[in-house]
Amino acid sequence: MSKLYSGAEILFKCLEDQDVEFIFGYPGGAVLPIYDELKNFNFLKHILVRHEQGAGHAAEGYARSSGKPGVLLVTSGPGATNAVTALTDAYMDSVPLVCISGQVPTHLIGTDAFQECDTTGITRPCTKHNWLVKDVKDLEKTIHKAFEVATTGRPGPVLVDIPKDVQFQKTNYTKFKKQKKTNGKVHNHFSQKDINELIELMSKASKPIFYTGGGVINSGPKASELLRELVNKTGFPITSTLQGLGSYPGEDSQFLGMLGMHGSYEANNAMHDCDLMINIGARFDDRITGKIDEFSPKSKKVHIDIDPSSINKNVKVDLPIIGDVAEVITSTIKTIKKIKPNFAKSNKQKISKWWEQIQKWRSVNSFDFVNSDETIKPQYAVQRLYELTKNKDTYITTEVGQHQMWAAQHYKFDKPNRWMTSGGLGTMGYGLPAAVGVQVAHPNKLVIDIAGEASVLMTMQEMSTAVQYSLPIKIFILNNEYMGMVRQWQELLHDKNYSESYTAALPDFVKLAEAYGCVGIRASTPQELDDKIIEMINTDRPVIFDCRVDKQENCFPMIPSGKPHNQMLLGPKDQKENKITGKGKTLV
Amino acid sequence: MVKSKSAYSIPGKQGKLDTHIIVVWVDNEAGVLARVVGLFSGRGYNIESLAVAEIDPKLNISRITIVTTGTPQVIEQIKLQLKKLVPVHKVADFKREDKKVIFKEMALFKIVGNQSKKEKALKACKKYNAIILDKSNKSYVIQVTALRREIDLMSKNLKKFGLVSVSRTGAVAMTRGSEIFK
């Protein structure tokens, strides 16, 4: 008779078969049998976080920077509810996570037992799927199914809830064979006809644009390479969403920068005026489209996406192509080579006028700002950070707010999986724990969280995790003492009524760093900024960098609410008029 | 134009609403109905009626029939979102006007009154396959199967004959002819 294993052992055997190397977690009553077995499984390193939300974001950072699913382990009740924000974040941004949660013993389920909550009920709307395992015999297939669901099709989070008694129960384990077969929810539903139609549209277009998103990154590094080849072959301009940054080189001349609410003038105008829009792995999010009725009114729209429900959800498209980005681009390139080998040449003339127009928009230089000798402008800080780290294959995470947009505008990415930011859910406090996860996946790389002082305080406790595991993450705080984006909207939309957006008491971040056992650095003038950044880079321990920036700087350009793409608010000029006066300041 | 204070866009034009019957074949497992219904409430879709029961105990399959209203775009979304759920096998969608599909609801009416009222009530129900399930001196329980709007009308008309209680199922649907939905 074969050996019997406990539920806890089976969990670890499954993780081993799924090639999991790291698990982010926090122990508690309902997962103690699992924690008891941890010592017997050396393939796995457990990273002890300080809060379950941190475990979730760390797992997200790990997943996004490595392309592998992130795994977290939390206890029942508060452990599970604390993870909900991270699960929702992963759901919105399509990040593969597998969350293992403990549950009270099956006979106590439904009795309001200690640390009981309806975990599968609470997480049902924020996971791709979840399971409550009531019989140890179902555990093995459920865990493997969980990994399959999380990583196939449009990736996303899943949760497996394991009652404590199931962790003790014993049964057999059959060695798992990874199947190449996808789960039926994965779709390459396109045909050669679709590809031919796409190429037909491409060859007819005189004002084309590629609009690419996180789907390119999720499709794997190969997709980014193929995208570069396709863009290069066609000579078309390309813009990217926040999540897609890095799939195409940020400094390339065909790249128009990010689009959307705080995107570049040229990208948004090109989206508005184009006659062919090729959406690759993006989802027509409301931060991108602005006013739907006036979104790119004259264009034919092609939408390449792995998720059929993304098609026609927000914007009606003319040609949907449902499939994995890498495979769609592969067929496209192949077909172009076969039927239009001189595509680039024959097309150049046709789109030259379009490029002229784009150059005109470009010359507006919409990311420009009025620099200062006295205070550090946040944009300048990001620019310097970029210049001083661009040759180091740096991984950037961010929190949410103005600093996030400035990072997206001024930090240029050359490779996929280097940029981790909370786009869909917009979770303040994402960046620090995400940086922990990124550093776990890439121990020898430079990992920087470009942060705001308000966001970073939401998950600051994870510095302690970074110190415990010697993860030399750099927390680069653009400290303006305001919830900057809130303040900016209040300034522009609520008559400068700065209701509760100023943090009147902040910790001394340098001392805070020392209290955590890491290094604190402060920069207050533009003159000392470079030296301090270099000092930060050269420190091989975790660093909290308190970069004191201009308190009133706003993030421009901006599409105001209810406006189409071609009516952007531009920066410095408007800014001078909108400066907060002495009187405005007394309002805070 | 009034200046919008929202950082979100303002709603666009609302399209024309159609009534559709969505049929979903699912694994009959814990929480599956909550997943389907939660999808509707979470994304703001309507449910006008709902009928669900296991139809294949061997394969463990349940059939959920949902009557909903929405713009063509919303109906399309409902179908695509349902298909993404892991326990969902297939999704069929019929327009209410579709002649190739049979829709039926069942209702139970309790009539309390004298003999003449009870008889009038029964007569009124005649063309909807009326069956008396229970009778007493003062009451009838009548079963009818009909279309949704017919039952709506009946519940209104029977009031004057002593209707005191109505219980009705959601609509169920099936295609006419030999074909089945794959």
Residues sharing a CB contact under 8 Å with residue A366, sequence separation 6 or more, in sequence order: A264, A265, A266, A556, A557, A568, A570, A571
Sequence letter at residue A212: T
Asked if A558 and A528 count as a contact pair (C-beta separation under 8 A), the reply is no
Residues of B in contact with A303 (CB under 8 A): none
The residue-averaged pLDDT of A490-507 equals 94
Residues of A in contact with B4 (CB under 8 A): 493, 561-562
Least trusted range by pLDDT, from A172-181, A264-273, A378-387, B24-33: A172-181
Question: pTM to 2 decimals?
Answer: 0.94
CB nearest to A286's CB, from B8, B81, B84: B8
Tell me the C-alpha distance between A400 and A429, whole Å.
7
Which residues on adjacent β-strands are paired with residue A397?
A420, A449
**pLDDT computed for residue B118 by the predictor:** 93
> In the A/B pair of chains, how many CB contacts fall below 8 A?
61
When computed from its CA atoms, the radius of gyration of chain A, rounded to whole angstroms, is 25
For residue range B156-180, what is the model confidence (pLDDT) as tens digits? Answer: 999 999 999 999 999 999 999 998 8
pLDDT class of A321 with cuts at 50, 70, 90:
very high
Beta strands in A371-516 (DSSP E): 395-398, 419-420, 447-452, 474-479
The residue-averaged pLDDT of A154-174 equals 97
**pLDDT computed for residue B37 by the predictor:** 96
Residues of B in contact with A316 (CB under 8 A): 73
Tell me the C-alpha distance between A117 and A52, whole Å.
15
Q: Is A44 exposed, middle or buried (0-12, 13-18, 19+ CB in 10 A)?
A: middle
- Cross-chain Cβ contact B6/A149 below 8 Å: no
pLDDT class of A585 with cuts at 50, 70, 90:
very low
pLDDT beyond 60 at A413: yes
Tell me the C-alpha distance between B152 and B128, whole Å.
13
Comparing CA positions, the residue from A211, A174, A176 lying closest to residue A305 is: A211
Residues of A in contact with B8 (CB under 8 A): 286, 561
Averaged confidence pLDDT in chain A: 94
- Cross-chain Cβ contact A561/B6 below 8 Å: yes
Tell me the C-alpha distance between B93 and B109, whole Å.
30
Q: Active-site residue among A428, A460, A485, A568?
A: A485
Residues of B in contact with A286 (CB under 8 A): 8-9
Most A-contacting residue of B74, B84, B85, B88 (CB-CB within 10 A), to test interface: B84
- Cross-chain Cβ contact A562/B12 below 8 Å: no
pLDDT beyond 60 at A185: no
**pLDDT computed for residue A583 by the predictor:** 39
A290: left (phi over 0), alpha (psi -120 to 50) or beta: left
Residues sharing a CB contact under 8 Å with residue A1, sequence separation 6 or more, in sequence order: none
> Is A170 one of the catalytic residues?
no
**pLDDT computed for residue A8 by the predictor:** 98
Q: Is A497 on the interface with B (CB under 8 A)?
A: no
User: If DSSP codes are grouped into helix, strand and coil, which group holds residue A100?
Assistant: strand
Asked if A502 and A482 count as a contact pair (C-beta separation under 8 A), the reply is yes
Most B-contacting residue of A92, A118, A124, A144 (CB-CB within 10 A), to test interface: A124
Q: Active-site residue among A45, A114, A204, A514?
A: A114
Q: Is A316 on the interface with B (CB under 8 A)?
A: yes
**pLDDT computed for residue A578 by the predictor:** 46
pLDDT class of A184 with cuts at 50, 70, 90:
very low
Tell me the C-alpha distance between A97 and A69, whole Å.
5
Helix H, strand E, coil C: the string for B27-84 is ECCCCHHHHHHHHHHHCCCCCCEEEEEEEECCCCEEEEEEEEEECHHHHHHHHHHHHH
pLDDT class of A378 with cuts at 50, 70, 90:
very high
- Cross-chain Cβ contact A561/B7 below 8 Å: yes
Q: What b/e string do you get for B108-142 counting C-beta neighbours within 10 Å, with b at 16 or more? A: bbbbbbeeebbebbbebbeebebeeeeeeeebbbb
Q: Is B16 on the interface with A (CB under 8 A)?
A: no
Q: What b/e string do you get for A355-376 counting C-beta neighbours within 10 Å, with b at 16 or more? A: beebeebbebebbebeeeeebb
Q: How many CB atoms lie within 10 A of CB B12?
A: 11
For residue range A13-60, what is the model confidence (pLDDT) as tens digits? Answer: 999 999 999 999 999 999 999 999 999 999 999 999 999 999 999 999
Q: Is B149 on the interface with A (CB under 8 A)?
A: no
pLDDT beyond 90 at A291: no
For residue range A106-137, what is the model confidence (pLDDT) as tens digits? Answer: 999 999 999 999 999 999 999 999 999 999 99
pLDDT class of A587 with cuts at 50, 70, 90:
very low
Residues of B in contact with A489 (CB under 8 A): 7
Scan residues 29-88 of B and list those with Cβ closer than 8 Å to A: 30-31, 34-35, 38, 42, 73, 76-77, 80-81, 83-86
Q: How many CB atoms lie within 10 A of CB B53?
A: 11
Alpha helices in A119-245 (DSSP H): 119-123, 139-151, 164-168, 192-204, 214-218, 221-234
CB nearest to B7's CB, from A292, A307, A493: A493
Q: Determine the distance from the C-alpha atom of residue B79 to the mean position of all C-alpha atoms in its chain, rounded to a whole number.
A: 16
> Is A439 one of the catalytic residues?
no
Comparing CA positions, the residue from A185, A453, A189 lying closest to residue A304 is: A189
Residues of A in contact with B13 (CB under 8 A): 293
Q: Is A493 on the interface with B (CB under 8 A)?
A: yes
When computed from its CA atoms, the radius of gyration of chain B, rounded to whole angstroms, is 20
Asked if A357 and A363 count as a contact pair (C-beta separation under 8 A), the reply is no
**pLDDT computed for residue A342 by the predictor:** 83
Alpha helices in A366-417 (DSSP H): 378-389, 402-410
Phi–psi pair at B126, nearest 5 degrees:
-45, -50
Q: Is B4 on the interface with A (CB under 8 A)?
A: yes
User: If DSSP codes are grouped into helix, strand and coil, which group holds residue A476?
Assistant: strand
- Cross-chain Cβ contact A292/B5 below 8 Å: no
Tell me the C-alpha distance between A245 and A264, whole Å.
13
> Is A114 one of the catalytic residues?
yes
For residue range A416-438, what is the model confidence (pLDDT) as tens digits? Answer: 999 999 999 999 999 999 999 99
Asked if A99 and A160 count as a contact pair (C-beta separation under 8 A), the reply is yes
pLDDT beyond 70 at A308: yes
Most A-contacting residue of B5, B8, B9 (CB-CB within 10 A), to test interface: B9
> Is A460 one of the catalytic residues?
no
Q: Is A78 exposed, middle or buried (0-12, 13-18, 19+ CB in 10 A)?
A: middle
Q: At what angle do helices B148-157 and B115-125 cross, to 10 degrees?
A: 160
More confidently predicted of B97 and A124: A124
For residue range B6-21, what is the model confidence (pLDDT) as tens digits? Answer: 777 777 777 889 999 9
**pLDDT computed for residue A514 by the predictor:** 97
> Is A556 one of the catalytic residues?
no
Q: Is A573 exposed, middle or buried (0-12, 13-18, 19+ CB in 10 A)?
A: exposed
Residues of B in contact with A496 (CB under 8 A): none
Which residue in the block uniquely carries the two structure tokens 């003339």?
A349
Which residue in the block uniquely carries the two structure tokens 């400094």?
A251
Tell me the C-alpha distance between A529 and A521, whole Å.
10
Residues of A in contact with B25 (CB under 8 A): none
CA distances for A486 relative to A494, A554, B7, angstroms: 10, 11, 11
**pLDDT computed for residue A186 by the predictor:** 55
Percent of chain A scored above 90 by pLDDT?
A: 88
Structure tokens at A28: 């508690």
CB nearest to A308's CB, from B8, B9, B80: B80
- Cross-chain Cβ contact A291/B10 below 8 Å: yes
Q: Is A141 on the interface with B (CB under 8 A)?
A: no
Q: Which residue of B has its CA nearest to A558?
A: B7
Alpha helices in A244-399 (DSSP H): 265-273, 286-289, 325-339, 343-348, 352-362, 378-389
Q: Is A267 on the interface with B (CB under 8 A)?
A: no
